Amino acid sequence: MATTAPTIVSSHHLATLKYAIRDLAVLAADVQKQGHKVLYLNVGDPLKFDFATPPHLIEAVIKAMRDGQNGYAASEGYAPAIDAVRREAERKAIPGVHNIFITQGVGETVDICLTALLNPGDNLLTPKPDYPLYSAVLTKLGIPVNAYDLDEENGWQPDLADIERKITPQTRGIVLINPNNPTGAIYSRQTLQAIAELARKHNLVVFADEIYDKLLLDENADDAKMIAFGSVAPDVPCITFGGMSKNYLVPGWRLGWGIASGNQQAMAGYIESIHRILRARLSANLPMQHAIPAALDGPQDHLIEVNRKLRQRRDLTAAWCNSTPRVSLVAPKAAFYAFAKLQIPEEAHEDDQAFVKALLYEKHVLVVHGSGFGQRAGTNHFRIVFLPQEEVLTQAYANMSLFLAARYQ
């Protein structure tokens, strides 16, 4: 006799969990199945385009495997890799580093650090727009998002007044993504110093996500130099996030790290909680960690060509955005993202998500809607990844121009 099986109910925390970048890829796969070629401007994976992993990193990993380095690593990471990250912190002028740990990509760094800090009822300041990993982790933990604005009129710098308004007695920390995803902005020394003062005043931990710190498109310009937060606020409790995916073109290797600086005594209990989680998940991938010293201490020649390509593609993207009706752009200064503003006429009765889906279905170009990253209320944006070759970008922008002209005449 057949019986109805009881329903397995999932965690209520995940009811609102979304990740716009990968969620849209599912729709694009359906478009491809219909026989259309999709022009992907949505995912920040350089290896899907004309970028290649530096050979000496591959050789370091192969050698490690052949030398039998295929077991567990220490939970905090492979010692030479930790030493290399420490030297990198010195190059970034971060003083007072008292702990470093290696993770399975910066995604794991974020997850571990937020889990170790936050309790029910706490909140964390995150930027708006933001990289959706942060809101995803907070959703998993049952922690409400407390988002502060980035100011588009001020080159996407953090809105300091809005940060101060959003701080409550339950606020435990603040996330800075610098260089920024999705805007490509670089934060000024004055901005970082002002945030450091707020962190001191309110006893906040600063999470400085600096994974794009070598992808600098105008590094000779005074306002486009990368300044590590830890270097301007050596007393403020800070975890600097870094990794190999973008700078060293190995996103699939999942190599990240956290650098703890600031008041060591004040952070001791928190750092021990991080290490409890590190021990519980055993270790990051040992053979891959052998690439960290090779990358950080080895030749950096590939960055010259990478940044040259990105600069040209950024310029092409900015020129299209700022010459196309209903589109405008604050040109990015780092990384490979452009967060373009979109003026949708009121009579269209649609938002940026509807725009992005229609663009995919009608012109087979995939970008990501700005609301997938959060954005100031009443605005519409879309994020472009300008990693593809210039001929691909040119075709995509031509398709988008036709789409915009037809849809919003």
By three-state DSSP, how is residue 73 classified?
A: coil
Q: Give kind and range of the element (H or E) at residue 368.
A: strand 368-369
* Dist CA 402 CA 23 (whole Å): 25
**Confidence band (pLDDT; 50, 70, 90) for 28?**
confident
Compute the mean pLDDT over every residue in the chain, rounded to the nearest whole number.
94
Which is more confident, 8 or 77? Answer: 77
**Confidence band (pLDDT; 50, 70, 90) for 16?**
low
> What is the maximal distance between C-alpha atoms in the chain?
77
Q: Domains, the chain, ranges and CATH? A: 12-51+302-407 (3.90.1150.10), 56-297 (3.40.640.10)
* Dist CA 238 CA 234 (whole Å): 9
Sheet holding 327-328, edge to edge: 327-328, 337-342, 381-385, 368-369
**Confidence band (pLDDT; 50, 70, 90) for 32?**
confident
Other residues' Cβ atoms within 10 Å of the Cβ of residue 276: 12
Helices (H) and strands (E) in the chain, counts: 14, 14
* Dist CA 339 CA 368 (whole Å): 9
pLDDT single digits (tens) 283-317? 999 999 999 999 999 999 999 999 999 999 999 99
- The DSSP bridge partners found for residue 384 are 338
β-pairing, 255-261 with 238-243? antiparallel
Instruction: Determine whether 217 is exposed, middle or buried from the number of CB atoms within 10 Å of its CB (0-12, 13-18, 19+).
Output: buried
Residue percentage of the chain with pLDDT more than 90: 86
Backbone angles phi, psi at 185, to 5 degrees: -75, 155
* Dist CA 331 CA 319 (whole Å): 9
Reduce the secondary structure of 12-27 to three states and give it as a string: HHHHHCCCHHHHHHHH
What does each C-alpha distance from 225 to 27, 136, 221, 302 come to in angstroms?
A: 38, 30, 7, 19
* Dist CA 244 CA 201 (whole Å): 33
* Region label for 184, one of left (φ > 0), alpha (ψ between -120 and 50) or beta (otherwise): left
pLDDT at 267 over 70: yes
* Dist CA 392 CA 238 (whole Å): 40
pLDDT single digits (tens) 322-355? 999 999 999 999 999 999 999 999 888 899 999 9
